[in-house]
Structure 1
Amino acid sequence: MNAGEIAIGFAPDLHVFVAAALRGGPTAVRIDGMSTLGHVVESLGVPLTEVGALLVDGRPSGRSHIPSDGEVVEVHGLVRPLNTTEPLRLLLDIHLGTLARRLRLLGIDTVYENPDIGDAALATRSATEQRVLLSRDRGLLRRREIFAGAYIYSHRPAEQLDDVLSRFAPPLAPWTRCTACNGKLADADKAAVREQIPDETERTYDTFAQCVDCGQAYWKGAHHARLSAIVDDAVARFGPGGAR
Structure 2
Amino acid sequence: MNGPEIHVEFATRLALFVPHERRHGSTTVTTDGVSTLGHVVESLGVPLTEVGTLLVDGREVPRSYVPAVGDSVAVRDVERPQQVPGAPLRFLLDVHLGTLARRMRLLGVDTAYESTDIGDPALATRSAVQQRVMLSRDRGLLRRRELWAGAYVYSTRPEEQLRDILDRFRPELRPWTRCTACNGLLREATKEEVADQLAGGTHRSYDVFAQCTQCGRAYWKGAHHEQLEAIVARALADFPNAS
Structure 2 length-normalised TM = 0.97
Q: Deviations over 1:189-217 (max 9, x none)?
A: 10000000111111111000000000000
Q: In the alignment, which residue of structure 2 is the partner of 1:109?
A: 110
Cα pair 2:91 2:110 within 8 Å, conserved: yes
Distance in 2 (alpha carbons) for counterparts of 1:194 and 1:86? 38
Cα pair 2:188 2:210 within 8 Å, conserved: yes
Distance in 1 (alpha carbons) for counterparts of 2:106 and 2:158? 13
Cα pair 1:3 1:68 within 8 Å, conserved: no
- Are 1:16 and 2:49 an aligned pair? no
Aligned residue for 1:95, secondary structure, equals coil
Distance in 2 (alpha carbons) for counterparts of 1:89 and 1:241? 14
Aligned residue for 1:192, secondary structure, equals coil
Alignment of 1:23-102 (within 5 A): 23-84=23-84, 86-102=87-103
Task: Give structure 1 stretches of 5+ with no counterpart.
Answer: none
Distance in 2 (alpha carbons) for counterparts of 1:157 and 1:241? 19
- Are 1:135 and 2:136 an aligned pair? yes
Distance in 2 (alpha carbons) for counterparts of 1:216 and 1:104? 14
Q: In the alignment, which residue of structure 2 is the partner of 1:170?
A: 171
Cα pair 1:171 1:239 within 8 Å, conserved: no
Task: Give structure 2 stretches of 5+ with no counterpart.
Answer: none
Shift of 1:166: 0.2
Q: Deviations over 1:12-54 (max 9, x none)?
A: 1111111121122111100001111001101111111011110
Cα pair 1:131 1:148 within 8 Å, conserved: yes
Q: In the alignment, which residue of structure 2 is the partner of 1:235?
A: 236
Aligned residue pair count:
242
Distance in 2 (alpha carbons) for counterparts of 1:100 and 1:158? 12
Letter in 2 for 1:217: A
Structure 1 length-normalised TM = 0.97
Identity of aligned residues (%): 63
Shift of 1:83: 3.1
Aligned residue for 2:177, secondary structure, equals coil
